[in-house]
Amino acid sequence: MKVFVGDDWAEAHHDVHVMGNDGGKLAAVRLAHGLDGIAKFHELLAGFGVEPADVVVGIETDRGLWVEALVAAGYGVFGINPKAASRYRDRHSVGGAKSDVGDAKMLADLVRTDRHNHRQVAGDSDAAGGVRVLARAHQSLIWDRTRHTNRLRHGLRDYFPAADQAFSGDLAGMDAVGILAKAPTPTEAARLSVAQIRSALKAGGRQRNIDTKAVEIQQLLRADHLHTSPVVEAAYGATTKSAVAIIVELNRQISQLETELAEVFNSHPDTVIYRSLPGFGPVLSARVLGEFGDEPERYANPKARKNYAGTSPLTRASGRRHVVVARWVKNRRLADALDQAAFCAITQSPGCRQFSSLPRWRVRSMFRASRRETRLVSEANDAYTGSRVDWLKVRCRFCAAAWSGVMLSKTKRAGQVALVGSIRVICPQTVLFSTQPVEIGGCRCGDVYVC
């Protein structure tokens, strides 16, 4: 016998609904959040005489002390996305009624009938949990610094545009914060001598081209610009000094967290695997490990992992309409780390460097292949009304990558656009694609396809 539990959680309490295999109600209680509440939760389920492995819990979160306690007890816990739970609620009440008790029943029914469509909360190791906490905190501080830097830039443009130009937009750098802390207004900045600027640059950590940079900054700060009134300028200077102090502290905390993150990440057994990937430094590797976790059974297949990271496209098909778009529902932290790693890999991997040096039209078609395929097929059908569409398979003669795609069987003239697989190519000569082989395009490895 299995027992299915719906847990609608709030900040102070949990509404719990327990049902059996047939969907019948076994119990419905409200428990306090905390140690007493989780103890009563275990007592409630123990009264039904079931083993922890036979208990399935649905809850609208996958983290927190309560969820960790449920996983540690051996229950099968499914973290349900609140958006998905809202759609399931419409199955039970089309009139829009909602209550905490009703949501708990809905969650129990959801894991009873459709848990195979959802991912079970994985029991990651303590080391992976520590990496995740530090990596998320480190990334959040960087995002906070970016927000404060943008606010600082916006304020400087209102009264001190020379500062933004002097520091080339890097207002979070030590050069900028060191000088703006000394002279937050245009009047004060224009009075700075080269020696004072040089001292601020040294204090900020600059070691090269100090004299040249000091002279360059002085010239930019003394350039002619529009000025506001002295009273408004002094007020802006106070806000700038406050923003600079926040950015300085954020820089210090980010540096400390990065050191702690590297220590915890290096102690994880999967460190060697992640660091072996091109473009994955200690910070990006730690972020990816923390978001993916180290539970080997967490993802059913590679596609599930790509869906979680948002790197796989999303298909919407209905009738004759077939659209492939980017996947916006994803783990934003993981997607950000993978995106940065892709750019870093250009300097670490010859293959990535070669791919990035391909003609821009080909790179765009590779990244947007799935989304563009439907539109290109429609264009081809419009250009050749009444032509028969066949499937044609091509293979790269060097890397053996196979592509299947739609191709018009009609004779095409040289220079006309054709579609092979998901790559838009130009016909090099007049050919009948259905009867003779011909070199027709480029592969990801930079070589040619052959029909």
- Compute the half-sphere exposure of residue 268: CA atoms within 13 Å on the CB side of its CA: 30
Shared domain check, 255 and 310:
no
Which pTM value belongs to this model? 0.72
Q: Among 216, 231, 263, where does a domain finish?
A: 263
Shared domain check, 238 and 160:
yes
Q: Dihedrals φ, ψ of 121, to 5°?
A: -65, 125
* Region of 319 on the Ramachandran plot (φ > 0 left; ψ -120 to 50 alpha; else beta): left
Give ∠ CA 81-86-92 in degrees, rounded to 5.
Answer: 130
Please check whether residue 55 is in contact with residue 45, taking contact to mean a CB–CB distance below 8 angstroms.
yes
Checking if the pLDDT of 249 tops 50, the result is: yes
pLDDT at 359: 64
Average pLDDT rounded to a whole number, residues 124-145: 93
Shared domain check, 233 and 140:
yes
Checking if the pLDDT of 63 tops 50, the result is: yes
Whether 375 is in a domain gets the answer no
pLDDT at 207: 83
Express each pLDDT in 333-349 by its tens digit: 998 998 888 888 888 77
Average pLDDT of the residues of the chain: 78
Q: Among 117, 150, 180, where does a domain finish?
A: 117
Whether 300 is in a domain gets the answer yes
**Model confidence band, residue 378 (pLDDT cutoffs 50, 70, 90):** very low
Look up the CATH number of the domain holding residue 72. Answer: 3.30.420.40
Whether 123 is in a domain gets the answer no
Please check whether residue 303 is in contact with residue 162, taking contact to mean a CB–CB distance below 8 angstroms.
no
Q: Whose CA is closest to 61, among 37, 78, 73? A: 78
Residue in the structure block whose two tokens are 């404060």? 148
Shared domain check, 392 and 306:
no
Shared domain check, 161 and 63:
no
Please check whether residue 156 is in contact with residue 163, taking contact to mean a CB–CB distance below 8 angstroms.
yes
Q: Among 263, 289, 306, where does a domain finish?
A: 263
Shared domain check, 244 and 152:
yes
By the 10 Å C-beta count (0-12 exposed, 13-18 middle, 19+ buried), 45 is classed as: buried
Checking if the pLDDT of 22 tops 70, the result is: yes
Number of domains in the chain: 4
Tell me which DSSP letter residue 120 carries.
Answer: B
Domain of 442, in residue numbers: 385-450
Average pLDDT rounded to a whole number, residues 235-244: 94
Checking if the pLDDT of 397 tops 70, the result is: no
Which pair of structure tokens corresponds to residue 398?
């060097």
Express each pLDDT in 25-42 by its tens digit: 999 999 999 899 999 999
Average pLDDT rounded to a whole number, residues 92-120: 87
